[in-house]
Amino acid sequence: MKATDTITAPATPWGEGGIGIVRISGPLAPEIARKVFRLKDPEIKERYLHYGRIVDPLTDTTIDDGFLVYMKGPRSYTGEEVVELHCHGGPLILQKVVEVVIKNGARLAEPGEFTKQAFLNGKMDLTQAEAVCEVIKARTDTALRSARGRLEGRLSKRIHQLRDILVEVLVPVEAELDFPEDGLQGLSEERFLEHLSTVERGLKRLINTYSEGAVLKYGIKTLILGRPNVGKSSLLNVLLREERAIVAPLPGTTRDIIEDTINIRGLPVRIMDTAGLRSTDDYVESMGVRMARQRIEDAELVLFVLDSSVDDFREDVALLQDLREKKVIIVANKVDLVDDSTCGRIESIFKGYRLVFTSALHDRGIERLKDSIYTCAVGKICSQDTDPGEFITSLRQKRALEQALECVARAKNSPIRELQAEDIKGALTKLSEFVGEITTEDILDRIFSEFCIGK
Ligand SMILES: Nc1nc2c(ncn2[C@@H]2O[C@H](COP(=O)(O)OP(=O)(O)OP(=O)(O)O)[C@@H](O)[C@H]2O)c(=O)[nH]1
Ligand SMILES: [Mg+2]
């Protein structure tokens, strides 16, 4: 992207709504606004809501009436000259407004390009830019709190703290390299190692937040699998607290994949009910079974449901063989129909598995199942004192921190000062990459292409 480009896109979703906003950002924004917006006021004022008409200046036809707001750069979201045109929220209107803005000098923004401008203009660092998308996509309170924290810069602050410690130790190390006779001026060897250990611990702690951060961001893809009639759809309904899927006493009821999202202790869980696994002559049902099997590879967690009241679990055991690579929770359903000794037998048959007894019909064991899903997804229950605003959420972030950690560990153990200095500098570089002070076009493209148009 050239810094001089003026870009435009609808900032509100395509669809029908009371208001639709088209954003223009770049040096030509005020000039384009003057061409396409007829206002009653004598001139465009900064941060003032002007009423007027959006027109095609070539034909002088009115496209819509609405408001114009001008935010003078750098005091704008992107740091550039920004104009917003607020019109009626119809897809055709938005399309026409964008077209006329483009005809008068702007180009269509790429996904995430407004935020990319903001990043390039120093309005936010890279972790904050990534958090913009996460705030928009958050589906649970915890996910939102986590993303808001990063947007406010809490994760970046933590990284800067670690970096400050590294700089503090690098200065005397470099001084010693220049003046070996003076040693590590003002810093004992123990303090030096202590500082490096503090950074090491801080990095490890952040790296460990990835499993929680990533599931908060993406949700966890959970597949309900099992033989026909074991109560898979009943389980989906009781987890969702609504009659989402048809439940019937006949095997082979569910054919399509039924998907929804539930909030389990703040975790967004994307849950899919599937057709009962069996070989069948029914054409449609067999398609459903095939679809269910195809989803296995993609699933991050499988709730394998079985009917506790049957005598023979050999088929369940066989089906579980295909799930060896997966995180599995065995849901022994219909526990209302069996006694304790049967439960014991089931426990011994499925020893080594995570197992929860439920009755979807009588709403029993469901809270325990939720706990089990939560622990399985994030590895542990989120403790009260961890701040989700400091969670890392992307592999990019995780890699940078792991590489920084390797450097710090090497520096701690290296007997040679020169190498220690190099490793400390290496760790500093990785932390700079983390917050985006050092970056490449390639990385930026990858990050911002995840955004939607207009952000
Ligand atoms: N007693 C008892 N019956 C249950 C329980 N859960 C489900 N059922 C009953 O079992 C039957 C099948 O339930 P579904 O939820 O349709 O089972 P499914 O696994 O989705 O079945 P398919 O879609 O055919 O594979 C229904 O009659 C349910 O009412 C339970 O916990 N206890
Ligand atoms: Mg079903």
- Give the pLDDT confidence of 28-42 residue by residue, as tens digits: 999 999 999 999 888
CA 242, 370, 334, 294 dihedral sign is positive
CATH of 7-122, one of 3.30.365.10, 3.40.50.300, 3.30.1360.120, 3.40.800.10: 3.30.1360.120
Report the pLDDT value the prediction gives residue 92, as an integer from 0 to 100. Answer: 95
Q: Is 334 in the pocket of ligand 1 (CB under 6 A)?
A: yes
**Confidence at residue 276, expressed as pLDDT on a 0 to 100 scale:** 94
Which ligand 1 atom is nearest residue 237's CA?
15
Is the bond preceding residue 91 a cis peptide, omega within 30 degrees? no
Cα distance from N-terminal residue to C-terminal residue, the chain: 16
Q: If you take atom 11 of ligand 1, which residue's CA is the nearest one?
A: 249
Residue ranges of domains in the chain: 7-122, 131-192+394-436, 216-378
Which pLDDT value is given to residue 140? Answer: 87
Which ligand approaches the C-alpha of residue 333 most closely? 1
Tokens 């269509």: give the residue: 108
Ranges in the chain, pLDDT < 70: 1-3, 379-385
Kindly state the DSSP code that residue 11 receives in the 8-state scheme. Answer: S
Model pLDDT, residue 185: 72
CATH 3.40.390.30 for domain 216-378, yes or no, is no
Assess contact for 55 and 38: CB atoms under 8 A.
yes
Element at 270 (helix H, strand E): strand 267-273
Q: Which parts of 37-96 are beta strand (E)?
A: 37-39, 50-56, 61-71, 82-89
In this prediction, residue 1 carries a pLDDT of 46
Tell how far the Cα of 232 is from the centroid of ligand 1, in angstroms. 7
Which ligand is nearest to the Cα of residue 277, counting in written order?
1
Using a CB cutoff of 5 Å, list residues around ligand 2, an ion: 232-233, 253-254
The CA 201 to ligand 1 mean position distance, Å, reads 49
CATH of 131-192+394-436, one of 3.30.1510.10, 1.10.1380.10, 1.10.3720.10, 1.20.120.430: 1.20.120.430
